[in-house]
Structure 1
Amino acid sequence: MYDMNSLKKLGALGKNAEAGMKAFQALDEAALADGAIPKKYKELIALAVALTTQCPYCLEIHKKHAIEAGATPEELAETTFVAAALRAGAAVVHGTHLME
């Protein structure tokens, strides 16, 4: 199901929902642009989110952009464990709903 070649269909998606695609692209560009938070950190944040949501497309795209922005293998590894800690933490705190 997850094939990077599917991203070639984004043009068709945009053609069929032009306003939505343009709005998404503008948001994506603005959110990930260098700013108060440097681009490298934004891409590492994007990777942590992608690891948490388990989106293979986002992982590939943001890994590439993070490396281009200067992220090191060590930073990529630490980002993985930040995401893992947050996912585990969410399970733990949701466990409180099971307690009487």
Structure 2
Amino acid sequence: MDSLAPEVMKAFWAFDKAAVAEGAISVKHKELIAVAVAVTTQCPYCIDIHSGNARKAGATDAEIVEAAMVAASLRAGGAVTHATHALSI
């Protein structure tokens, strides 16, 4: 992709790097958020990358699992909410 759309990918990688940089939210917590989002979007590559980055930023396995469980509960909550529509049919 980098060779086929160099300007777009350059902009993407700059945005990606800036999004997880230290700021009001620490890198560790941003990477835990990224793990949770990756679980929700079901992106195995993203899960690998961001769980590794979270560990490098000091996250424990327990923190990674807890972030993933928050994501799982929200995803399941969406299914439960949508299931209520079956009652109105």
TM-score normalized by the length of structure 1? 0.83
Instruction: Give the aligned residue type for 2:67.
Output: T
Distance 1:41 1:89 in 2: 23
Matched, 1:60 2:58: no
Matched, 1:25 2:9: no
1:81 corresponds to which of 69, 80, 87: 69
Distance 2:83 2:20 in 1: 34
What residue number does 1:47 align with?
A: 35
TM-score normalized by the length of structure 2? 0.92
Q: Between the two proteins, what is the percent identity of the paired residues? A: 57
Structure ranking higher in helix proportion: 1
**What are structure 2's unaligned runs of at least 5 residues?**
none
**Structure 2 counterparts to residues 85-96 of structure 1, below 5 A:** 85-96=73-84
**What are structure 1's unaligned runs of at least 5 residues?**
1-12
Q: CA RMSD in A?
A: 1.0
What residue number does 1:8 align with?
A: none
Distance 1:19 1:97 in 2: 44
1:36 Cα deviation from its structure 2 partner: 0.3
Matched, 1:38 2:26: yes
Q: How many pairs were matched up?
A: 88
